[in-house]
Structure 1
Amino acid sequence: MPKPLITNFKTLAATKLRRDALNIWTAGVQAVETQKVIRSAVKRQGNTLTIGRKKYQLNDYQRIYLVGIGKASFDAALALEKILKSKIKGGVVLCTVPGELQYAQCVTGTHPLPSAVNVRATAQIVSLLKQADSQDLIITVVSGGGSALLCQPYQITCDQVSRITQLLMKKGATIRELNTARKHLSEIQGGQFVRLAHPATVISLIFSDVPGDNLDEIASGPTVLDKTTAHDAARILQKYNVLNECRLPHCQVLETPKDKKLFKNVHNELLVTNKLAIQAMARKAEQLGYQPKILSAKLQGEARLIGKKLAQAVKPGQALIAGGETTVLVKNGGQGGRNQEVALGALEHLPANALVLSGASDGIDNSPVAGALVDGLVQQKAEKKTTFGRGLSKGQ
């Protein structure tokens, strides 16, 4: 039997409502399973590579390199190696899980905060990009987590970038603000990847993890012409008082490449958005006898408040479905991530016979768990543990 997607499914599925919710969420995650997506989107017949509606003649290129960035990059690289095989002449895949690849090197970095490991791995990618020429093809996988994994800071250290990132997350900066700052503190993000690879051809296979699917925001847009400016980044750093709170003597921002000629041979292909998962969940909910209602694919805001709104919005017989990226305002430390915070925010506002499940599609909610579900059973346990409940309500 295949290994269950949710490892503690049996423990959690104590009621029919829970079982249905878990199955609906599972359907969404399966719809965006990385290797499945690659196999569906990337086809090879002899020397012809088809990606979406575009065709590439592999014989037109002297060398083909594989570069992976982000949490989905290892699984994507595995699938691409099976398709391209020995056509791949080398590469670097920077991801969050260790693994073995046949034609490219897999390097495990740290996330959500960058480290010296990320810097060394990024240097390997930069070296590969610089040696590519007009006869080469670079196939790149760009996915969530790439903003932290891909780290070549501009005039500051990796540790300082980590402190800035931590402060912005702690203060509730939006993912757009966070990535804007990252792009202009980096020598490889915000389209800088393309500058380094020029004049090689670049095919970027993109897995979106940001609301709205703006390509220049996903993993801080390494292969995309950046819409933001150094002035935008400076304003964000000033807004959150970064220099003073991070005790930095200076923080120079770098303008991202704006010359469209650099991007002439760049092909960005959006393969995954949360809409795929949302639609799959809606279909599963309908199969299970619920009336699916898609609330939003761009859900944003403070996680606890979003949880409250979801709990208050759901109606009997309905499966309310949404996707997006919330923020957490950290007050007193603590553990967990945005999905657990959403569930916690819903807890005391849940009507009878209702349930809220919030989970990360990559299985990592800033902790070893993917998220949380809350229902009447959880409410009963919370009421018995009154001290615990008061602590949660204070953000402890």
Structure 2
Amino acid sequence: MFVDEAKIFVKAGNGGNGVASFFRAKYVPKGGPDGGDGGRGGSVILEVDENLRTLMDFHYQRHFKAERGQHGSGGHKNGRNGADVVLKVPPGTLVRDEEGNILADLTEPGERVVIARGGMRGRGNAHFATPTRRSPTFAEKGEPGEERWVVLELKLLADVGLVGFPSTGKSTLISRISSARPKIAEYPFTTLVPNLGVVAVPDGRSFVVADIPGLVKGAHAGKGLGHGFLRHIERTAVIVHILDMAALEGRNPIEDFEVINRELELYDLELAHRPQIVAGNKMDIPEAQANLPVVERYMQERDIPFFPISAAVGTGVDRLLYAVADLLDTVEKPEVKREKEKRVVAEKPSPTEITVSREGDTWVVKGTNIERIVAMTDFENEYAIVHLQKRLKRIGVEDKLIEAGAKEGDTVRIGKMSFEFYPF
């Protein structure tokens, strides 16, 4: 089974809470605060594993959660950091958020990206001791870890892509030249998923070939199997176009060639200029011999390499493989063009930026740092609340609310917390 798209939920670990603690020892009446910090929450990380070829693992498990950080304890003892969760993905994996924005384009073996960051550690009360506040009785809570749904999309990183109408013999060819064993039958769209195989040329060279499911007229707009599989051709260095020379289904090999090339061009103009070799298949059938002169003349006039073959019998296949290997030696692989160059993710605002807006009867304050500060405040501790109010005033949140028109007693929401506005 080939799974080339998966939607998964990832949850990073929360940061551990800091602790409010004081040193206690005989003959030490004022030992002072000694609360330790919590541990950092584990992150969820994607890592490229060159030994993987599909996203099958994510078909069976869709939820992943990293370990939370341990809480701190007295005696300045910090909690242990939570363990990261590393998810292995094959080369060519594109990562998007639910809105379709590109988060990462993973192509190189060992390449990593953090898709859910672990929460920051909460600080113990020892951090809040000052000359005027020698015995702080509050500590920070750990920051909640990030959580999100992400879509993983695999673009095959094959050297060669086999394209053509359904039932032209692509699956038969890949089964002959590699160890891949695709399903083969006498009806359209037998191949519903791309097949990948490693081809060994008799002279010792090798390359990876992908049997792309049959395309039809209108595929660039989603007809038939649609452009869901056209994307797999984008990163192939060479296209091998398979024609049904026998034309037993009433189609014309030259018309088939022009239709498929038009679909490739409409999907991505660069594909129209991708190096291409044409293989006229089913030459073991008498009707194919009758069509051969016309097709050969057509390809010669356009200076397109053409090889008559029979994938079923094996005739001409070795000559085709040598030609493909020779062409691969001379062309640059297009996978160096990384999708992140076309990144559409909006730039993140500055962590210190604060915005105030009105939603109904509620004032909503947004900002990366301010939301983090509120999330890490222990609202069950009145001293922690007073400390938060002072911080809000110091960084200008109160002034922004007053400038926006907030009145005493109005409801204010920051992150997930709502409270009444009383200027400090």
Q: TM-score range by the shorter chain?
A: under 0.3
User: Normalized against structure 2, the TM-score is what?
Assistant: 0.20
Between Structure 1 and Structure 2, which shows a larger proportion of helix residues? 1
